[in-house]
Each structure stands twice: as C-alpha cells, then as structure tokens.
Structure 1
Amino acid sequence: MTAPSAATYPGGLSELDFVEAYARSALKKPEAAADAALARLVFAEAGDRAILAGLIAQELAEACRRLVAVYRALADRTHPVARRLLEPLPGVLEWKQFVQDVAVLSPEQVVRHLYLGDDALEWARLLRSQADLSDLTGLVAAAEEGNPMLLIPDLARRKVAETIWLAGVSASGEPVASSFGADEASATTLADLTADIAGIARGFLLSYVNARRTAGRPPS
C-alpha cells in the first residue's frame, strides 16, 4: 500500500502533524464546548439552561465516539493512525464493543493493547475508574442516528424543565432517545465526564505522537 502524501491530510499536514493537530483540537473541542456551555448555563434563564445542558450532553456523545475512534486507530496499526482517524466516527455498535473490551482489561493491558508507553498508563487508569460506561450507550445511539435533536417537553407548558431528551431516528425508522437531567448539578456531571473522556482520548493519542517524535533519540 502506498503511503498517502502530505496533501492527503486536511490542511496539507503530514501524517504525524495531522494526528497531533487532531489530538490538540478535535479531541479538545467537546471538552471546551461543554465547559463554555456550563459557564453560560449558570447565568441563563430556565429555558436556556435546559438547552445548554442538552448541548453538553451532545458534546459528551461526541467525546465518546472520538475516544472509540482513537482506541480503534491505535489498536489496529494495519493502516496509518491518521488514515483511521479520517474515517466516519464510530457508532453505537463500536461503542458497545469498546465498553466490553475496557471492562475486562486492566490499565496495563489497555496500554499494551494500544501499543503505547508507560506515559499512557495514567489515562488508562482514568478510563478504568469511570462509572458504568454502558450508561452512555443510549446517548451515543441517539447522537449517531439521523437528525439528532434536543427535546424539552416541559418548555411547551412554560414549566421549568426537569428532563431533556436527545432523540434521533434509526435507519429502520425506529425512534431512539436518551434522557438526562436539566438541572445545573446534572449539567456539571455531564461536563466533568466530557472532560474525562476527551482527556483520555487526547492522552492516548499524544502518547503515540510523543513516541513517534522521540523514536531513535537517546534518553535525556
């Protein structure tokens, strides 16, 4: 297989430069967006608070899917990591498989599975420390399906929203939805989880980048 030229990657970047840019921007975006929405939520009116909480949930779903994309790209090196990261984001089936995998692997085994160095161990431990990741399956499914949308039923009755739904429609036409709280405490939990998930993906990918950049250099 012929290696892709630099121009193949967005911005004309080289393979490794693209991977690093992806780690520092595409993987950082869900965390930064969730933090910005949470900061705005504190001072927003009731209706807008519910919408902002929903936006944080959408960023969490993206962070989950990008973590799986990184995990998949690092675990299978039959193609360049950058090339794998250009593929469409994984969906709910890949998320379920990922959750099953990390549930049975120790942090040390995760690092070996991804062919990473010991500097990635802290991120593997953070991944293992997460609460039941399967609880996020519905959110990932709703975000993946066609025309994902926020639904806040209470707003139609001019009540303070207590529950938000992220909803979509599957390829077979079946509705898919995931619910979560609309209050500030729930939004904060979602934002914190987004930061953890995004940080793990970024930590794994930057470990790969650092290993590539320092390959062959004598230890300092």
Structure 2
Amino acid sequence: YHGTPVQLTDENIREFLMDSNQMAAKGLRVIAMAIGTSLDDLVYVGMVGIIDPERPQVALAVSQLKAGGVQVKMITGDAEKTAKAIATRLKIYHNADLSISGEDLEHMNAAELDAAIAKATVFYRVSPVHKLTIVKALQAQGHIVSMTGDGVNDAVALKAADIGIAMGQTGTDVCKEAADMILVKDDFYTIMAAIEEGKAIFHNIRNFVRFQLSTYVDWETSASFN
C-alpha cells in the first residue's frame, strides 16, 4: 500500500475480483500483476485491462451469416464475462443464450455434451482439446463446420474442421498450414462472399444435372417410341 507491502485480506480479494469483473464485462482482457522471487511468495501490485478491438466488418459478417442460415459460435480462451461482452456486441450472444466453459465440457457425458454444444453460442476458457471436441461434435450432428483461427492453439481444430480458415496477416505459420483457406486481409466479410459463391456454384451444378437428366429421359422416351 503506497509502496509498502501489506497483508492481503478477504475484503481486498473481493474488491480486486469486483474490479476484474467490471473490466471483463466491458470486453477487456484482465491481467493481474505481482512481484516476487518465487511463485509461492508474490506481492500483488495491480491489474490492467487490455482491449482487443473486433476486426472491421465482423459484426456485419456475423449478421449476414446468420441471415443466410449459418450458426455462428464463439470459441475463445478469454474469461466468461469478456467473451460474453464481445459476443454481445457482435450479436452472437443474447441474454437467453447458453455459454459453456471448457471445464464444463470435461464433466459432461456424451449426451449432455452433444446437447450443450448444439445449443451454446459462446465457449470460453477453452483449450485446443476443447476446440477439437466442439468441432467433432458438430460434425457428428451432421453439420458442415467451418473454423476460423489465428494462433497455434487453433491449428488442430482448423485441421479437423470441414473448412479451416486462417488469418493471413495475424495468423501464425502453423495456423496457415493447417487451414484450407487463408483470409489475406483478415476480412471476415470474405467468408460470407465465399459461402455465397459456393452456393451459386452448387446451384449451377444442380441445374446442370437436372437439365442433363431431363434431356436423357426425353431421348430415351423418344428412342423407345421409335
């Protein structure tokens, strides 16, 4: 206190946790700092809140993806309040939605896991193993899963996803190597454009097949009459 170490009390801890929760609720990543010569003998000196602003056009991309029938889920290593605050701003999370921690996933049986992963929109405090579990569970439910990421911790899940998407500017080399697609300018709106283009290609292929089948049937019918 004022440069002099003092005993940490329960009241101090409650105040620190309250300050931490307030910063996290604003979408800040909270870092607590301490000094000392050993991890068993540290003196708490304070905490800072770091803002990691959302990338441009993410909110618009999320809105259009959802309008196009795509389920959007946030998977992050951030704390619960931080994750919810950011997901709320991006319209991924609403008050009635389910949010699940990586630790929660570890204590669920197979049926509970499938139900929770299908319903939840925010997964927080997750590890690379948790991310892989989420991707595989969604695939087992019949979903085509696209996963976006930029760090080493995302590589395994990116590889397992049907479509792994890495950030081109901020993504690590490991992440890019594991991905199927790279966003050169880190623009999430590109994902929506790629989906629309894919739908158009699929629509054209389907129409072509229908035309070919109808032509073949007409030819067979004509040949049989002749």
Same structural fold, with TM-score higher than 0.5 when normalized by the shorter chain? no
Task: Name the TM-score, length of structure 2 as normaliser.
Answer: 0.27
Higher RCO (CA 8 Å, separation ≥ 6 residues): 1
More strand by share: 2
Structure that is richer in helix per residue = 1
Superposition TM-score, scaled by structure 1 size: 0.27
